[in-house]
Structures are given as C-alpha cells and as structure tokens.
Structure 1
Amino acid sequence: MNFFYHGDCLEILPTIPDAVIDFALTDPPYLVNYRDRTGRSIANDVRGDWLDPAFSEVFRVLKDDALCVSFYGWTKTDEFFNAWKRAGFRIVGHIVFAKSYASKARFVRYQHESAYVLAKGSPVLPAEPVPDVLPWQYSGNRLHPTEKPLSCMRTVIGAFTKAGDVVLDPFAGSGTTCAAAKQLGRRYVGIELDATYHAAAQNRLADRSAIAA
C-alpha cells in the first residue's frame, strides 16, 4: 500500500476504510496565511474550518491504540487542541525541534518547530522513546515553502513504527513524510491538495537519490 493522492483530504480520507493506518505524521497549515520570500503560499492556511473534519477522519482511519504526530501553528494552539480532542485524541507527548538559526524574529527569535503526539486508545510505549527535544536540519525549502527535514521525519517514524507499517500524511506537501517512510521500509498514504507540490512529491518518491538525501 503506497499511495500519493492529489486532492482534498476531506474528500479522499472518507474513501479509506476504518482502522487501516498504523501511524499518522503530518504538517498541516498553521492558519497564519504564510508567504515565503518568493511568494509561495499554502492552501487553507487562513481559516481552520477544516480542522475538525480532517482530524476526525484521521482518528477514524487509524487502527485502535495508534499514534498521530502533528505539527501545529503555535498562535492557533487552542484551535488545534480543540479539534484533536473533539476527534477523540489524547495528548500524550510534545516534541520540540531546535533550530540553529532563527526563521523569524519579533518579540523573540523563533528557533524551533514543534509537534504534539496524539493517542487513539492506549498505544504500546516505544522500546526506545525519542527525546522531546530533537535537532532540526534545514531542508532548504526547495520543493515546498515549509518543507520539513527528511532526517526529522525519519527519526519520528522510526521511533513510533515498525517495518511494514502504513504511515499516513493527509497534508503531505512535497512528500517528506512519505519519502522517510519509504526509506525506512514502511508503506505510506499521502494526500496533497496543491498540484505543484503534489507533482514535486511524485517526482521525489520516484527518485531513489532524492529519497536517500
């Protein structure tokens, strides 16, 4: 099972059967109307009306006693928290990825990304839990304006899955989660709305050298 869909996850997730996904790792829009220096943007990055239905579907397709790791926009933490809890998730962990550089500076210098670990049911504890602070390697954002580092996604997937597991990313962007899953011998289901990012991900997943980077 390796699928990378082009389309809206609110339309594609309902076509996936109940309880077939082992683990979800995703980087949804942060609801900040982000634009990078070249003007690239992210769909659905203004309002959070998709949060509840999207994470309800993620909860449904996950197997019992499974985990979801989701990045989030810290200025909209309340909206993400409420959506996760309404979907049925319990918050069981938080991971901070420490950057060696500041991506922005206002009242403080922003030198981290973060994600919550969400549980459906009572997942088995990992044999070797990862630290809750991990190093961040700059991706270069070549394929996507908020492209996550392959090394970070590989660390998270490796900690919470085993070979052959199915990893879901409903906001897959340039396919980093899926590339990391493939590299580790996991199967993947990715969904991306934007045609440009979807095409970049498809090319990436077909290119062995890109996956190994």
Structure 2
Amino acid sequence: MTGNANTPRNEVINANCIDAMRTFDRGSVDFILTDPPYVTRFRDRQGRTVANDDNGRWLRPAFNQMHRVLKDGGFCVSFYGWNKVDLFMDAWKSAGFRVVGHLVFRKRYASSARFLRYEHEQAYLLAKGNVSLPEHPIPDVLDFPYTGNKLHPTQKPVEALRPLIEAFTEPGDVLLDPFCGSGSTPAAAQQLGRDWIGIELDGNHARTASKRLASRQHHRAAA
C-alpha cells in the first residue's frame, strides 16, 4: 500500500465520517467493515437512538468516500436496513462498488416482532475493481451472538465480525469502520493483528470505543 501518510492507524476519530475520510489518502485502506444507520428512525426499549438514522442524505457521499479510500481490489462489507435497501443499493452502485455477495447473520432471538419475528441481520459484500477470490471462502450464513447492547443500541458482536476480517484481510492490513459505534469492528481487527481506523459521530460512543480499544491493547501488551 502506498501514499497513506495522511491516513491514521489504530485511532478512533470523533467526527463526521465524510469529513474525516476526505482527509485520507486515496486507496489507503485494505478493507471496510461497517454498520451504518439503517435510516429507520430506530429507538430501542430504553429510548436510545442512532445519529443520522432519520435521514439518508449522508448515504451517497459516505460511500463515495469509502470507495475512494479503499484500495483497488479491496472489499467492503456493509450492513443495511432491509426496508431501505433501495437507498443503500443506489449509494453503493453510484459510488462504483460491485455487489458480489450477501450475508445473513442468524440470531437466536427476535430483535422485534411485527409482521414477522425479525431474527436476522444482513449485509452485502461489495467489491472495488478487479478483486481476487478469497483463499478460504466463508459461509454466507453466520451466527450472531447476543451482545446485550450494553455499549450501544445496535452493538454488533465481535464473534460475528472476526470471520469476515479473517477472510478478506491479512495480518498488518488496515481496516476501516466509518460508523464504528462502540468499537466492535476495530476490536475484532485488533484481536486478529490488523491495523484499524474507527470513525464515530457521537462523542459518547467514540469515547466508549476509545476506552474499549485501549483496554484491549493494554491487556495484549501485558500478556
């Protein structure tokens, strides 16, 4: 990887991700794994909400920047809101991503129940340019342990993210999560010996992520 002097490593940035990514060098990250707002006005049982979940104005510019900072031949895994898939698909394709796979994360619980009991999450696998096939393809259905959402209203389990990072990166690669919340993606990257960048708009969540990752780094150093 070349020309990445302006791209930080192993840092949680409290900022609007579009503004932050604009300062990064082109092609300076190896893999993107992110859980953006689903544009569904989400509110959990405690009344917690997600920043920018009430509009989709950020979708196109955010994925344009993700495509720019991702290296040619790199992959992006993006969670999305199933009932807003048209908005997400438009943003991905207009940015230049190719859709090359779909992932389903199987829950042992229902996150809500309306017309159905909603017992899964989903993400698309996106590619930039000419990509190489992974050496060991993983299943497109993965288990999704319950986190309790203690750190964030839509907290993702590290255990569900690790297989994706192992499949699409090598040790020492740089992984980006522009919507890092409480830091689950950087935590999974850190466990696997990858460098990482987390960006989070909400100051409280950014502080939570920074503390979480500093604690993990301290434990690794002490081991």
Q: Deviation at 1:210?
A: 9.9
Query: Would you say how many aligned residue pairs link Structure 1 and Structure 2?
Result: 212
Unaligned runs of 5+ in 2: 1-8
- Residues 77 and 99 (structure 1 numbering): CA distance in 2 closer, same or farther, change over 3 Å? same
1:207 Cα deviation from its structure 2 partner:
1.0
Return the alpha-carbon distance in structure 1 between the equivalents of residues 85 and 34 of structure 2: 16
Q: Deviations over 1:113-159 (max 9, x none)?
A: 00000000121111111101011101111100000000011111111
Q: How far, CA to CA, are the matches of 1:211 and 1:52 in structure 2?
A: 39
Q: Tell me what 2:70 maps to.
A: 62
CA separation in 2, counterparts of 1:4 and 1:131? 30
State which of 66, 75, 85 in structure 1 corresponds to 2:93.
85
Query: SS of the residue aligned with 2:62?
Result: helix
Structure 2 residue 145 is the aligned partner of structure 1 residue 137: yes
CA distance in 1, matches of 2:179, 2:84: 17
Paired residue for 1:167? Answer: 175
RMSD: 1.3
Structure 1 counterpart of 2:3: none
Q: Are the aligned partners of 1:183 and 1:211 in contact in 2 as well (CA < 8 Å)? A: no
Q: Using the alignment, how far apart are the partners of 1:95 and 1:82 within structure 2?
A: 18
Contact 1:9 1:191 in 2 (8 A): yes
Higher mean C-alpha deviation, range 150-159 or range 71-80:
150-159
Give 1:211 shift.
Answer: 8.3
Please state whether the residue corresponding to 1:207 is helix, strand or coil: helix
String of CA shifts for 1:69-114, please: whole Å, max 9, x gaps: 0000001000000000000000000000011111111111100000
2:219, 2:61 → 1: CA distance? 31
| Whole-angstrom CA distance in 2 between matches of 1:209 and 1:65 | 30
> Are 2:133 and 1:125 aligned?
yes
1:8 match: 16
Query: Who is 1:31 aligned against?
Result: 39
Question: CA shift at 1:209, angstroms?
Answer: 8.5
Show structure 1 runs of 5+ residues with no match: none
TM-score (norm 2): 0.93
Normalised TM-score (structure 1): 0.97
Please give the alpha-carbon distance, in whole angstroms, between the structure 2 residues aligned to 1:5 and 1:208: 17
Paired residue secondary structure (2:138) = coil
